[in-house]
Amino acid sequence: MNSIEIFDTTLRDGEQSPGANLNSKEKLEIAYALKELGVDVIEAGFPISSEEDFNAVKDIAKKVKGVGICGLSRTLKKDIDKCYEAVKYSDRPRIHTFIATSPIHIKEKLKLSPAEVLKITKDSISYAKSLCPEVQFCLEDATRTEYPFMIEVIKTAILSGANIINIPDTVGYAVPSEIKKRINYIFHSLGELIEEKNVKLSVHCHNDLGNAVSNSLEGIKCGASQVECTINGIGERAGNASLEEIVMNLVTRRDHYKRDVKVNTKLLYPTSVLVSNLTGLFVQRNKAIVGKNAFAHEAGIHQAGVIACRGTYEIMNSEEVGWKGDSLVLGKHSGKGAVKNILATHGINVEESKIEYILETIKQLGANKEYMDYNKVLELAKT
């Protein structure tokens, strides 16, 4: 079973989320957590962006060992120098350099010709490679780049020394079938060169249309060996592909994807909570895997099902992702089964009329958009 490398960009793209600001100490704390989680590469920041970010990346590279540490840089010599100066202390330093390749970006933003983009690609990668053994190259806005030019750029990047080619859906425009077509086209056109040079193909998908995880998984199915993602899916605009959702898709549906990951899934929820607390970007209740409602049940029919057998309504074990919380939520949709189960767990047996009284109290609270905690249930049972 082929292993997928998890490239976590929480500390770079994730921190670029409007409203998310991390100081150096907080970035280091998250970096340690990501290392324990088992990600393969941590993109620690954008060193040229500020002296604070440079120092944060440098500190992480010096202290967080046993995982690749990457910095982002534009295709400018000063950026590449600054990036390498920050990451060079890592066991596995990596420079991630990028240039836009779509017609709209080349014309409107860069104001360059395609030939100039190719030259910059060659020169920047060659220079980065002279400094660092691992160089990742990103075709910004790749999913809106014309196929022939995309192939030209990728070939130039590989021949110039790039170890990893990143195909990002920078503005979240693509749908899964388009990701499939594009990745397959790359392997069809450059498969022999990719294999000869032992190059990894990576996908980095944004969530503007809500397709980031689906697009990332499609890229993996088509042969990408690295996936870029963030904890809680944080990132620019609507965010990035969510690490926990990608990982649990690969773990839960291993029969379908037939790919493996080295992530310790039991640390997914604790890491989510840490990132949420430090960034101030709180997770919506119904967020897959790590949301407060992810393994919680209020409806009586569902509660009866999970009491009988959790597999009736849960396709994952909450313990598998380190989730903590009350699985039976006591609200206006709850049934007697939940009340009985909670009491039985605490060794309490009461008459049916008491059960009905407790349930009616729960429903009255629910009508006012309130919920009853377990301690109150025990208290009512004893009165």
The answer on 209 and 315 residing in a single domain is: no
Residue 289 lies in a domain: no
Instruction: Give the whole-angstrom CA distance, residue 380 versus residue 383.
Output: 5
Residues 240 and 344 in one domain: no
Residue 275 CA to residue 281 CA, distance in Å, equals 8
- Tally the domains of the chain: 2
pTM summary value: 0.95
Contacts by 103-112, CB closer than 8 A, 24 or more apart = 103/144, 103/145, 103/146, 104/141, 104/144, 105/140, 105/141, 105/144
Tokens 């920050």 correspond to what residue?
Answer: 86
- Write down which residue in 244, 279, 314 finishes a domain: 279
The CATH number of residue 234's host domain is 3.20.20.70
Which amino acid, 74? R
Whether residue 324 sits in one domain with residue 188 = no
Same domain assignment for residues 182 and 221: yes
In a domain, 288, yes or no: no
Tell whether 257 and 371 lie within a shared domain: no
Domain assignment present for 249: yes
- Domain boundary among the residues 214, 244, 279 is at 279
Residues 224 and 324 grouped into a single domain: no
* Domain range for 357: 300-382
Asked if residue 305 belongs to a domain, the reply is yes
The neighbour count for residue 129, using CB atoms within 10 Å, is 17
Residues 147 and 30 in one domain: yes
Looking at the structure, tell me whether residues 12 and 69 fall in a common domain.
Answer: yes
Neighbours of 209 (CB within 10 A): 15
Q: Do 164 and 101 reside in the same domain of the chain? A: yes
Burial status of residue 332 (CB atoms within 10 A of its CB: 0-12, 13-18, 19 or more): middle
Per-residue pLDDT of the chain (383 residues; tens, 9 = 90+): 589 999 999 999 999 999 898 999 999 999 999 999 999 999 999 999 999 999 999 999 999 999 999 999 999 999 999 999 999 999 999 999 999 999 999 999 999 999 999 999 999 999 999 999 999 999 999 999 999 999 999 999 999 999 999 999 999 999 999 999 999 999 999 999 999 999 999 999 999 999 999 999 999 999 999 999 999 999 999 999 999 999 999 999 999 999 999 999 999 999 999 999 999 999 999 999 999 999 999 999 999 999 999 999 999 999 999 998 778 999 999 999 999 999 999 999 999 999 999 999 999 999 999 999 999 999 999 88
Single out the residue of 317, 271, 143 nearest to residue 218, CA to CA: 143
